[in-house]
C-alpha cells in the first residue's frame, strides 16, 4: 500500500491521489439515494412506532440493500 501511494504521489502529485473521486461519487449516489428511500419505506412498514428493535432495523437494511441491488443497480448480476 505504501509503495502504491508513493508511486501515485510521484506521478500525479497530491491531486493524483483523488483522481476519479467525483466520478465514483456520481456512480454511487443514485444507489445510496434509492437504498435510503427503500430503507425508510420498509422501516415504516416493518417497524411500527414503539417496536423498533435492532433485529427489525437490520432486516429493513438488508431488504432495502438487496432489493435496490437486484432491481436497480446491478440487474444483470442475478
59 by DSSP, 3-state: which? helix
What is this structure's pTM?
0.66
pLDDT digits (tens, 9 = 90+) for 19-71: 888 988 888 888 888 899 999 999 988 888 888 788 998 999 999 988 877 77
Burial (CB count <10 Å: 0-12, 13-18, 19+), residue 60: buried
Name the band, by pLDDT with cuts 50, 70 and 90, for residue 74: low
Residues 12, 19 contacting (CB under 8 angstroms): yes
Q: How far apart are CA 20 and CA 9, in angstroms?
A: 15
pLDDT band per the 50, 70, 90 thresholds, residue 73: low
Amino acid at each position: 500500500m505504501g509503495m502504491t501511494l508513493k508511486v501515485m504521489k510521484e506521478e500525479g502529485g497530491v491531486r493524483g491521489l483523488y483522481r476519479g473521486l467525483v466520478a465514483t461519487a456520481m456512480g454511487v449516489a443514485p444507489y445510496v439515494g434509492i437504498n435510503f428511500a427503500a430503507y425508510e419505506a420498509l422501516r415504516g412498514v416493518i417497524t411500527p412506532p414503539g417496536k423498533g428493535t435492532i433485529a427489525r432495523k437490520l432486516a429493513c437494511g438488508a431488504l432495502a440493500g438487496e432489493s435496490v441491488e437486484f432491481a436497480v443497480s446491478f440487474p444483470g448480476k442475478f
